[in-house]
Amino acid sequence: MTSAADLAREAIYQVIAERRDIREGFLPDPVDDDVLTRVLAAAHSAPSVGLTQPWDFLVIRDPARRERIRALAEAQRQAYARSLTPARQRAFAGLKVEAIREAPVNIAVTCDPTRGGRNPLGRHAQPRTAAYSVACAVQNLWLAARAEGLGVGWVSFFSERELAAELGLPAHLEVIAYLCLGHVAEFPPAPRLALTGWARRRPLAWAVHQESYGRRGLPGEEPVDLIEQTVAAVRPLDEAAMAEARDLQSRLTKPPGALGALEDLSVRLAGLAGTCPPPVPEPAAVAIFAADHGVHAQGVSPWPQEVTAQMVANFLAGGAVVNAFAGQVGAEVTVVDVGVAADLPDAPGLLPRKVAHGTADLTRGPAMTPEQARRAMETGIEVARDLVAAGNRCLLTGDMGIANTTASAALIAAFTGLPPERVTGRGTGIDDATHRHKIEVVRAALDRARPDPADPLRVLAEVGGLEHAALAGFVLGGAAARVPVVLDGVIAGAAALVAAALCPRAVDACVAGHRSAEPGHAVTVEELGLRPLVDLELRLGEGTGALLALPLVQGAVRVLHEVATFDAAGVSDKSGHDRC
């Protein structure tokens, strides 16, 4: 027999599971004052540091005031929309982000950081705990409202001080939340942003660590090896979906095979997604992994090492070629500091994930420790996971690191068995003497390390770069999430060799965006069994070649979505017969 305690526990978990951020479907029915008081009492019972209770609740019903507040939110909505890529703009246009007018009650929840006196208990070392306490009150309010059958929507499209001025708040008060509350027609079965494909919920296993950050594992389970876990999640292509895509290609209003390599690509992407037609690969995100290399000290590049950090700043300012190409094709640019020698200031679009301040000189010893190589690879996996969870359906590789073509050549030689002179190029444009020296540097590194391709993580640590490790993880993460990963040039190709050595099926998710002018890249794509979509003698890196190929990847899939079949169009096939 179920006890009262069991029923109460089940009710709590049910309320938590069914809580939704409601933005549409509010009914005009008024909220009973007694019910609203109970909800506010639940919020007021929240825990607070030092029992300071720094919250206040401003209940707003006046239509004229709500109309003015909505105008503030609409201005911010429009500003946000302008910051999005075209694919995101289209998706955002269909999202309702507030119900300020429709909900019968609005509640502004504020924080008074001065409450509790000069030195309240528990806030001495953590001054922001006042705001954290108010967040607990907001959650209590939200859950109590759901228990009462009321919907709540959190509106975040505000300039906080503009809203404070409209509400007549004293200068020392901060607005933590603006909530819309009322009866609703229904509660959706899942968060609206997940239902629309805007974003995905991260699995709990991604967020739980044991004892220290990075020791992943659910309670009662052994810590998980993230690389092994990701490799295990990479599944074979779906043969049924591929057969369906081949059949659909044969019935489209065009000669069979007329789209050449794009037809093969569309079939493979159907197999990757496990459905036909596969999702159009948008939104798309390019991740630029930036790191420095100790081998720069050997004089293999005419560019000073400081250029790595300077180019990162250029990426973030929007002034690089990758930014221009990303704007052209509607991709979002994320920069990941996985190993830049300089300390970089915080900036929008920069992910600070530094594993080390560059690698060691690979001619004198291992470029990385095994732990550094693992951490960098895990960083790439997590970046891929997060970008896919954020709603991206296509990942593109980017890179930045002075002297990274030297490490790339060493990796390619190690995995292909070819001599350094076959795979070592001129990088950023070195002269003949420097090129000969660069070849000998690669040869010296290989002679020292004697890398065994059967042990890919050791090869990576011996002669690779931090960005190579991160890119290898990025490829594995994309493959595990079953989204296409468009590879850029020689640096991405070298990293893909590492990923393929760890998990051969990961190559199924890879698309060779272009063929680089670097000799090692032609060898790499052949080794991977990939066909480059573009051949323009590019050798810039950054993700530029992958971005130029993105419209081709998207076009290959759009054909399956948008081109009519002979039957549907009433067009005769090549035999002269109508296909009806």
Residues annotated as catalytic are 542
The burial class, CB within 10 Å (0-12 / 13-18 / 19+), for 203 is: exposed
DSSP for 54-93 reads -EEEEEE--HHHHHHHHHHHHHHHHHHHHTS-HHHHHHHH
Q: What is the dihedral of CA 337, 343, 345, 348, to 10 degrees?
A: 0
Q: What is the DSSP letter of 49?
A: G
Q: How many CB atoms lie within 10 A of CB 452?
A: 11
What H or E segment, with its residue span, contains residue 262? helix 261-273
User: What angle is formed at CA 300 by the lines to CA 296 and CA 306, rounded to 5 degrees?
Assistant: 40
- How far apart are the C-alpha atoms of 274 and 286, rounded to whole Å? 23
Contact status, residue 342 vs residue 328, Cβ threshold 8 Å: no
Question: What is the spatial distance between Cα 24 and Cα 27, in angstroms, rounded to a whole number?
Answer: 9
Helix (H/G/I), strand (E/B), else coil: 10? helix
Strands 55-60 and 174-183: unpaired
- What are the φ/ψ torsions at residue 88 (nearest 5 degrees)? -70, -35
Span between the terminal Cα atoms of the chain, in Å: 63
Helix (H) or strand (E) run with residue 286 in it? strand 284-291
Please give the sequence-ordered ranges of beta strands (E in DSSP) within 299-453, or none if there are none.
331-339, 350-352, 394-400
CB of 435 closer than 8 Å to CB of 406: no
Neighbour count for residue 440 (Cβ, 10 Å): 16
DSSP state of 47: -
For residues 341 and 381, what is the distance between their CA atoms, to the nearest angstrom?
Answer: 22
Closest CA to 157 of 43, 56, 81: 81
Q: Which of 379, 386, 375, 374 is nearest to 481 (CA)?
A: 386
Q: How many CB atoms lie within 10 A of CB 515?
A: 24
109: enclosing H helix or E strand: strand 105-111
- SS3 for 290? strand
Quickly count: other Cβ atoms within 10 Å of residue 273's Cβ: 21
